[in-house]
Amino acid sequence: MADVRALQDRHLPWIGAALALMVFAAFTPTYFVPVAAGQFDRPSILHVHGALFFAWPVLFVVQAFLAARGRIQTHRSLGLLGIALATGMVFSGLAAMASTLRLAEQTNRQGQGNALALVAFTGVLMFAVFVTAAVVYRHRRDIHQRLMLLATLAMVQAASVRFIALLAMGMGMLPARQEGVPAPLLPLGLVAVPHLLVDVVVLVAVCLYDWRKRGRVHIAYIVGGSLLMLVQGLRHLIVDSDVWRGACAMLLALTR
């Protein structure tokens, strides 16, 4: 039986809305503005990838508001759309990863390409794991909604890097990007800091909310949050391995 106290979890729509705003703000300078100006010359698959990944946080917010207002039947009907969208996101994420690797190969920056591909791959993998678990626990609302939030956290990694970089540029902590100048090569550990920061802020907020309202932190946050932190902590051990370089080379060969 679903936890009836889950009906009180009206904070999730607002957290989802904050994440959605972060995604749109983060990609405005690097995607929306260039597309509007006709200056986005990357492969067409990235438009499909972008449309699917932008649609997810919007759907999450809509679903969270429907659940909070008790409109469960509509929520469940849209859930079928969510499953289809999540499936498309996984495949488009892998296609976008191949596009990133190809661009890195063409610009002789394979090391950075492999690192970015690892971030994308682990993000897509965790997203798929959390969404699948959420579907399995769809009749346990308290678990289901928390797993969906964790899935959304897993898929906003690229946005969190861009968003925090924009904030840092605005505060003068980073130099502004110059037109036609490639992004600097950054170690995976430094790239991972914004992901970790956003995850920690959101997880601390929702865990504190649970503690205040329920007297305990929900097991979904404990297990899922620990898994997110573990994956982010272990990435630097994999990025320079022969296994990961071989996997990247295989993906490139399969998509040529």
Q: What is the mean pLDDT of each run of 10 residues along the chain (256 residues)?
A: 48 88 86 86 86 93 87 89 94 88 83 82 93 94 93 86 67 47 46 72 90 90 92 81 88 78
Structure confidence at residue 3 (pLDDT): 43
Residues 106-143: tens digit of each pLDDT: 888 788 788 888 888 888 999 999 999 999 999 998 89
Asked whether 53 and 155 are in contact (CB, 8 A), the reply is yes
Amino acid at 33: V
How many other CB atoms are there within 10 angstroms of residue 157's CB atom?
25
**Nearest Cα to Cα of residue 209 among 37, 57, 10:** 10
Length of the chain in terms of residues written? 256
Residue 175's SS3 state is coil
Instruction: State the pTM of this model.
Output: 0.84
For the stretch 82-90, contacts whose Cβ atoms lie closer than 8 Å and that sit 24 or more positions apart, written own/partner, are 82/131, 83/131, 83/135, 85/52, 85/55, 85/56, 85/59, 86/56, 86/127, 86/128, 86/131, 86/151, 88/52, 89/52, 89/53, 89/56, 89/124, 89/127, 89/155, 90/124, 90/127, 90/128
Structure confidence at residue 27 (pLDDT): 87
- The overall average pLDDT reported for the chain is 82
How many other CB atoms are there within 10 angstroms of residue 246's CB atom?
10
DSSP-derived letter for residue 6 is G
Buried b (16+ CB within 10 A) or exposed e, 163-184: bbbbeeeeeeeeeeeeeeeeee
Residues 68-103: tens digit of each pLDDT: 888 888 998 899 999 999 999 999 988 888 888 888
